[in-house]
Structure 1
Amino acid sequence: KDPDTSKINVGIGAYRDDNGKPWVLPTVKEAQRRIVEKNLDMEYAPIEGLDSFNKAAMKLLYGEHNPLLEQKRIVCLQSLSGTGSLSVAAHFLAQYVKNKNVYVSKPTWSNHYGIFQTAGFTVSEYRYWDPNTNGLNYDGMIQDIQSFQENSIIILHACAHNPTGVDPTKEQWQGILQAIQKGNHIAIIDCAYQGFASGDPDHDAYAVRLFAEHHHPVFVCHSFAKNFGLYGQRVGSISTICKDHDEYARLDSQLKIVARRLYSSPPLHGARIVAEILNDPTLYEQWLQEVSTMANRIRSVRQALHDELKNLGSE
């Protein structure tokens, strides 16, 4: 064990303050205080989770005035953060799609492989990171998507790509959507960092809203671990776009069956915290500032690390 007091853990996937300590958001503290005062019960949540959380999460993700929400064409289940929502998507699709090919970016979050392999899929990669430019290999990505067998499943990162941090531009997202549409592929968008990439949750939801606007088959796996600092509460959602009310009813019932088999019902406390914040205008505005603070600090720390490494002669 290294006894150096100045050592830094650069591997942990959680936000830390200037002293390297976990930061509980002030809005989370206030929401917890209110929840305790309400003296709520500890009964099971419904399979679909907490209704007030689901509605608030969908407004945050798709936009408050998205007509798809008003038309009840977005099915949403509260799930166990990112891993849980991806698992629901994987096991649902394993039952209903014939093409068992899933494609992930090279590189990607390591758990993507295990989640979909466990559900019976073959997981392969598409080009993403270009080491020559330290940026996105957009042309390679599009070429790979165009080469895939029709009706394949493609996993995308909504923003703050893990692990590269490189995201497509808005114009590139439009090209990615067109390539996926042409191949009749199913998109899964992993949205683990809404607000963390730019400091603006609306900006970071661009890809999700683009796919929704074009009504392309998509499953969005949404985590609240990072942007609310609720790492241990396992708060998330899975949502998908429906053509009409009949499809809504079918998808809703089948996703609930999958969730029931995987974990029965989701935990309440973290969802109550998020719902309390998102549904209270004052807390919501304060949370937006907190997310911006975290995002800006992450960028400044990255820049400082880059500058110091450069000063030390690193290439």
Structure 2
Amino acid sequence: MALLLAEYCADNGQPWVLPVVKKVQQQIVHDPTLSHEYLSVRGLPEFNRATTALILGADSIAIVEKRADSIQVPGGCGSLCMGARFLKKWYTITHPKAVAIYISSPSWETHMTVFQEAGFMDIFKYRYWDNENLCVAIHKWLEDLQNAPEYSIVVLHIAAHWPTAMDPTPAEWKQIAEVMKRKKQFPFFYVTAQGLASGDLNKDAWPVRHFVTERFELFCAQSFGKNFGLYNDRVGSLTVVSRDNYTLIRIRSQMELAARQTWSNPPRYGARIVATILNNPAFFAEWRENLKRMAERLMLLKEKLKEELRTLGTLRSWEHITRQIGLFIYPGFTDFQIDYLMKKKHIYLSSIAQINISLINSQNLTYIAQCINEAVLSNPEDMKL
């Protein structure tokens, strides 16, 4: 039984297609005016406008002052890659010393390699996770930012940090912004599932919007795979917030050149679905309800798993999994327990034991909880109580 797939799955174990996405797909298929012509280098204009407003808020001061815009890219990784290459070529010119990159520990391995491939040499990790208390290590994180050089680029996850599934509180984000402003550091946000983390689009976007109100220049890489269920359509966006409109125009022209040299122009189909939903009030309202339904089910599954483990008397508290948000949970298994679950019980996890909670359903919940209980009991001294 594999619990490491990336898609949101329904109770039958199959990836769920959002009802509003089905409606829009049918509308596109039967629209006689649509063709397969190339998009511009920057992508679908209505997609770029809508995704900028989605993450920043339609009334954002950065939009009002015309110093924010987005460029369509192939997925979240494409967005991160575009941003990294731009920063290596242009950000480092204005800061003669070697610019340091700071990535959370733990984090996606891809994030490290993206910045390495872009040409950055000084790549460091800031402490994100407290493995003893199974929570965000905010004091260590702030200490690492304070000790980081001025003008460092800091990669910040929002809407469910990967892999820990736990984000800072608003008060903690304010502390992070305060240190980064003092150190003149550049925030590079990475957003994989706005709206799916908490069920509230605005709540999930709050950290980015707070940094904008604090007058940061920033990048924000967005992926629309999980929150629209468009996993294989590679729909992404890189949002730029600059100091003024003149700077934005220059950044945009260089990104257009980079896109031309890299993928020429992005794919249309997925972006058209996203743009249609975001720009149609009825579709947008339905999409928000779809997201809320998904997020509430994920929260309920975490509660059910916690209760099942409590009923079995499993030797530890499982409160942390119900504080985690989004599609995954980070249970804090030891290497022994991961090995036990995979080899003895054939429950296949990632190397860090991250679990796609949507794959736990009414048919397998009891069995999975029993297997976890056995893994803990098999070597209880190896488990942090």
Q: TM-score range by the shorter chain?
A: over 0.9
| CA deviation profile, 1:102-154 (whole Å, cap 9, x unmatched) | 11111112211111111112322101111121111111000000101111110
Which residue number in structure 2 is paired with residue 21 of structure 1? 14
Query: Measured at CA, do residues 157 and 269 of structure 1 come closer, stay the same or move farther in structure 2, by a change above 3 Å?
Result: same
Which residue number in structure 2 is paired with residue 38 of structure 1? 31
Q: CA deviation at 1:242?
A: 1.8
| CA deviation profile, 1:21-73 (whole Å, cap 9, x unmatched) | 01111111111111122231111111110011111111111112223213321
Which residue number in structure 1 is paired with residue 224 of structure 2? 224
Which residue number in structure 1 is paired with residue 319 of structure 2? none
Q: Equivalents in 1 of 2:264, 2:101: separation in Å?
A: 26
Q: Equivalents in 2 of 1:302, 1:182: separation in Å?
A: 39
Q: Determine which structure has more spread, i.e. the larger CA radius of gyration.
A: 2
Which residue number in structure 1 is paired with residue 52 of structure 2? 58
Tell me if structure 1 keeps the 8 A contact 2:48–2:69.
no
Identity %: 38
Q: Equivalents in 1 of 2:45, 2:30: separation in Å?
A: 20
Q: What letter matches 1:114 in structure 2?
A: T
Tell me if structure 2 keeps the 8 A contact 1:192–1:226.
yes
Q: What letter matches 1:236 in structure 2?
A: G
Which residue number in structure 1 is paired with residue 331 of structure 2? none
Q: CA deviation at 1:314?
A: 4.5
Aligned runs of 1:84-233 on 2, under 5 Å?
Answer: 84-98=78-92, 99-121=98-120, 122-233=122-233
Q: Equivalents in 2 of 1:258, 1:306: separation in Å?
A: 48
Q: Equivalents in 1 of 2:31, 2:64: separation in Å?
A: 30
Tell me if structure 2 keeps the 8 A contact 1:100–1:120.
no
Q: What letter matches 2:25 in structure 1?
A: Q
Q: Where does the alignment leave 5 or more consecutive residues of structure 1 unmatched?
A: 1-6
Tell me if structure 2 keeps the 8 A contact 1:75–1:251.
no
Q: CA deviation at 1:218?
A: 0.9
Q: What letter matches 2:18 in structure 1?
A: L
Q: Equivalents in 2 of 1:158, 1:264: separation in Å?
A: 29
Q: What letter matches 1:80 in structure 2?
A: P
Q: What letter matches 1:289 in structure 2?
A: E
Tell me if structure 1 keeps the 8 A contact 2:218–2:242.
no
Query: Measured at CA, do residues 60 and 97 of structure 1 come closer, stay the same or move farther in structure 2, by a change above 3 Å?
Result: closer
Q: Where does the alignment leave 5 or more consecutive residues of structure 2 unmatched?
A: 93-97, 317-385
Equivalent in 54, 58, 63 of residue 69 of structure 1: 63
Q: Equivalents in 2 of 1:64, 1:296: separation in Å?
A: 26
Q: Equivalents in 2 of 1:310, 1:102: separation in Å?
A: 42
| CA deviation profile, 1:222-257 (whole Å, cap 9, x unmatched) | 110010000001111101112222111111101111
Q: CA deviation at 1:13?
A: 1.4
Q: What letter matches 2:90 in structure 1?
A: Y
The TM-score, its normalising length taken from structure 2, stands at 0.78
Q: Equivalents in 2 of 1:180, 1:264: separation in Å?
A: 35
The TM-score, its normalising length taken from structure 1, stands at 0.94
| CA deviation profile, 1:188-246 (whole Å, cap 9, x unmatched) | 00011101111001110001101111221210001100100000011111011122221
Q: CA deviation at 1:75?
A: 2.4
Which residue number in structure 2 is paired with residue 4 of structure 1? none
